[in-house]
Amino acid sequence: MAAASLSYYCGGEWMTFPYEKEPRKPKVNVTHASPNLVKFTLTETDVSVANALRRIMLAEVPTLAIDTVNIEDNDSVIFDEFLAHRMGLLPITSHKVGDIPPDSGYVEYKQCTCFDGCPYCTAEFKLDVTNTEDKVMTVTHFDVENTGKYRRDNALPIDEVKMVPSRNPDIDEETDTRENGIIIAKLKKDQKLRFECYARKGIPKYHAKFMPVATAIYQFEPIIRTNKQMLDGLSLDERIEFVQSCPRKVFDLDIEDNVHVARKEDCIFCDECVAKAKAWGKKDMVTVKMDCGVFHFTVEAVTPEGGPRNVIDVVRAALRVLDYKMSLFLKDAYGDKIEEWLPWERPA
């Protein structure tokens, strides 16, 4: 986080911020990380920070998406406008797109100083297919290719801007196209589809096609308290009924047939167990509460391979965007001069 200012405006005059304690230092504990799914626990902070992080992941992490489509030939049954819209929704790899303005990466097209497209704001794609066979042909995102017109001189193969999902080398091309291809249009014999399109940077606030995540949610830590005395007073049949009252199987019977909490993290706060206890007239047998200081996040990418962006990168990008926005606030409100933001590279 950017260094917090030590003054604040209160009732007509500037005050010194009454820090009674050290600023909070939120902690992140990653429990699961793969290219398309990350789970982590955020602690030592409150709902405002957790929700800000969630909303930034959903609406302010930039990616690339098709913005303009120049259609030269369209014999398909799909209207040009419809086709352009479908192109816009295709996911495109955006690993080094740049999260905050000081980053090197891509610049938004409107803010770029170039006249009409340059390697720093645009990537050009083209599609040119004609159906020559006497059967229906499916045009998928595999047919769209980067022309390389705006490729940067020092670009590595890994930085190549391309459509995802990419080719699966384990299965043959036809099966891959059928199973993993995103369908753009279908062509009858002699129908033709030819266009070029331009991918540009944007944030999901402008348009949902820029979404880097499919899921970005958090859940509070459940606090489940059971009254052992009351539970031990139940007959075996009642215990089984109690365990089965939970739709997520949070409770279980141990080896001595005592009820215990087996899968706390699965609790969805439905209060079925509490209702069951109430029905038996045992009001305090079980209570379920939320711990509003512990957040279990689940963030999922759009495609299985982690495109448009690797999901762990999305979380880091969201933290950086939050940090950058805080620095803008401090600059506007207090005139703080901040020239350092959270780095992309992990500090040594």
Partner 1 sequence: MSGQDAAKGQELAKAGDAAAGPVAVAVTYICGNCGVDVELKLKDAVRCKECGYRILFKKRARKPMQYQAV
Binding site for partner 1 (CB under 8 A): 65-72, 74-75, 80-81, 83-85, 87-89, 197, 207, 209
Considering the complex, state which of residue 17 and residue 206 has its C-beta at the smaller distance from partner 1.
206
Q: Residue 208 Cβ, how far from partner 1 at the closest point, in Å?
A: 10
Q: Which residue has the tokens 């080719």?
A: 167
Helix, strand, or coil (residue 16): strand
Q: Residue 68 Cβ, how far from partner 1 at the closest point, in Å?
A: 6
Note whether 54 and 296 are within 8 A (CB). Answer: no
Q: β-strands 63-74, 27-34: how paired?
A: unpaired
Considering the complex, state which of residue 90 and residue 274 has its C-beta at the smaller distance from partner 1.
90
* Of 56, 51, 37, 53, residue with least CA distance to 292: 51
Distance CA 125, CA 317 (A): 26
Token pair of 22 as six digits: 């050290």
Q: Residue 75 Cβ, how far from partner 1 at the closest point, in Å?
A: 8
Q: Residue 301 Cβ, how far from partner 1 at the closest point, in Å?
A: 21
Considering the complex, state which of residue 68 and residue 219 has its C-beta at the smaller distance from partner 1.
68
DSSP β-bridge partners for residue 200: 65, 122
* Contacts (Cβ under 8 Å, ≥6 apart) of 61: 99, 203, 204, 212, 213, 309, 314, 317, 318, 321
Considering the complex, state which of residue 196 and residue 336 has its C-beta at the smaller distance from partner 1.
196
Q: Residue 73 Cβ, how far from partner 1 at the closest point, in Å?
A: 8
Token pair of 65 as six digits: 């998406």
Considering the complex, state which of residue 108 and residue 271 has its C-beta at the smaller distance from partner 1.
108
Amino acid at 123: A
Considering the complex, state which of residue 76 and residue 226 has its C-beta at the smaller distance from partner 1.
76
Note whether 177 and 138 are within 8 A (CB). Answer: yes
Considering the complex, state which of residue 75 and residue 336 has its C-beta at the smaller distance from partner 1.
75
Token pair of 87 as six digits: 């192109």
Considering the complex, state which of residue 85 and residue 149 has its C-beta at the smaller distance from partner 1.
85
Angle between helices 272-279 and 236-244 (to 10 degrees): 150
For residues 80-95, one letter each, b for 16 or more C-beta atoms within 10 angstroms of the residue's C-beta and e for the rest, the string is eeebbebbbebbbbbb
Considering the complex, state which of residue 71 and residue 338 has its C-beta at the smaller distance from partner 1.
71
Q: Residue 88 Cβ, how far from partner 1 at the closest point, in Å?
A: 3
Q: Residue 84 Cβ, how far from partner 1 at the closest point, in Å?
A: 4
Considering the complex, state which of residue 161 and residue 273 has its C-beta at the smaller distance from partner 1.
161
Q: Radius of gyration over alpha carbons of the chain, in Å?
A: 27
Q: Residue 67 Cβ, how far from partner 1 at the closest point, in Å?
A: 6
Q: Residue 71 Cβ, how far from partner 1 at the closest point, in Å?
A: 5
* Contacts (Cβ under 8 Å, ≥6 apart) of 58: 204, 211, 213, 216
The angle at the Cα of 47, spanning 45 to 51, to the nearest 5 degrees, equals 115
Phi-psi bin for 127: left (phi > 0), alpha (psi -120 to 50), beta?
A: beta
Q: Residue 83 Cβ, how far from partner 1 at the closest point, in Å?
A: 8
